[in-house]
Amino acid sequence: MSLYRSNRKLHEKDHPEYVSGFEVQFIISTGARRRYRFEPRHIAPEWWRFEAEWTGTAWRPVSREPVQTVTVRLPRATTELR
């Protein structure tokens, strides 16, 4: 999982309030690489969920939908998450 900032001119460690979205990348059982990106919506207290598929050279958009709540739970892992 990675965080990214909406204002790319500022460093997130110096301005954590500008870190606004995050993404999760994974490989499904068929071997295709996928990504979910979550970004806050500016017109409502909701989030956008963007799904994309890796083509080998770029991310191809698959879908987008608004979601009401995003909860991230990371259990204590004994192995490293990448």
pTM of the model: 0.67
* Cβ-Cβ contacts under 8 Å for 46 (sequence gap 6 or more): 40, 66, 67, 68
Pair of tokens at residue 46: 């909701």
How far is Cα 6 from Cα 39, in angstroms, rounded to an integer?
9
Long-range contacts, 55-64 (Cβ 8 Å, 24+): 59/35, 62/34
Q: How far, in whole angstroms, is CA 51 from its chain's centroid?
A: 9
The pLDDT, as a whole number, for residue 62 is 95
The pLDDT, as a whole number, for residue 10 is 47
pLDDT, one tens digit for every residue, the chain (82 residues): 555 554 445 444 544 455 578 889 999 999 899 999 998 887 778 888 999 999 999 999 999 999 998 888 777 765 555 5
Domain boundaries, the chain: 2-67
The pLDDT, as a whole number, for residue 19 is 52
The pLDDT, as a whole number, for residue 17 is 52
